[in-house]
Amino acid sequence: MAIAAKRIQQPVSNQTDHDEDIRELPGSHILCEALVREGVELLYGYPGGAIMPFYDALTSYPSLHHVLTRHEQGAAHAADGYARATGKVGVCVATSGPGATNLVTGLATAFMDSTPIVAITGQVARPAIGRDAFQETDVLGVTQPIT
């Protein structure tokens, strides 16, 4: 599913009337805005189909630096290590299904040690949820015991 979004010239977080303008943005840009407003500077991740709108939006946010990992599990562990080393929240990014489940070991490690990390994953289209869609996994159900 392709998502057409107008490319923004300047992130809303750099403009003066934030709340008015943010309602006009696609969800992927709103997510980037939220990360900027929360002071996130560094993200670790591995792109895939369902998370691509977020990756496309990242190009409009130069203050959000992305580190491409070789595997989603590496992204979760890198976010955990970043949070431990800096005291800031670590952020990891993966696609839906197997990409999301590959984050689980790193999320569990962070959970057990009370390290603050946020995992952002893609998801299949809403109408396809519960219909055994390609790369569909109950990510909330899988991660609930470790979040």
pLDDT at residue 11 in the model? 58
Identify whether 106 is part of a domain: yes
**% residues pLDDT > 90 (the chain):** 61
- 33: its two tokens: 């805005």
Whole-number mean pLDDT of the chain? 85
Identify whether 16 is part of a domain: no
**Number of compact structural domains in the chain:** 1
| 57 φ/ψ angles, rounded to the nearest 5 degrees | -65, -35
Whether the predicted pLDDT of 133 surpasses 90 = no
Whether the predicted pLDDT of 37 surpasses 50 = yes
Taking only the tens place, the pLDDT of each residue in 60-95 is 999 999 999 999 999 999 999 999 999 999 999 999
Identify whether 1 is part of a domain: no
Element (H, E) at 121: strand 117-121
Identify whether 134 is part of a domain: yes
Whether the predicted pLDDT of 142 surpasses 70 = yes
Identify whether 115 is part of a domain: yes
Identify whether 108 is part of a domain: yes
Taking only the tens place, the pLDDT of each residue in 103-116 is 999 999 999 999 99
Identify whether 67 is part of a domain: yes
pLDDT at residue 95 in the model? 93
Identify whether 6 is part of a domain: no
Average pLDDT over residues 46-56: 94
Domain range for residue 82?
25-146
pLDDT at residue 134 in the model? 56
Q: Which residue has the higher pLDDT, 99 or 6?
A: 99
Which long-range contacts (C-beta less than 8 Å, at least 24 apart) are formed by 55-60? 55/93, 56/3, 56/5, 56/28, 57/5, 57/26, 57/28, 57/29, 57/31, 57/32, 58/32, 60/7, 60/8, 60/11, 60/29, 60/32
CATH of the domain at 130: 3.40.50.970
User: For 4-13, 21-30, 63-72, 88-97, which range has the lowest pLDDT when averaged over its residues?
Assistant: 4-13
Which long-range contacts (C-beta less than 8 Å, at least 24 apart) are formed by 8-15? 8/60, 11/36, 11/60, 11/61, 11/63, 13/37
Say how far apart CA 45 and CA 119 lie, in whole Å.
9
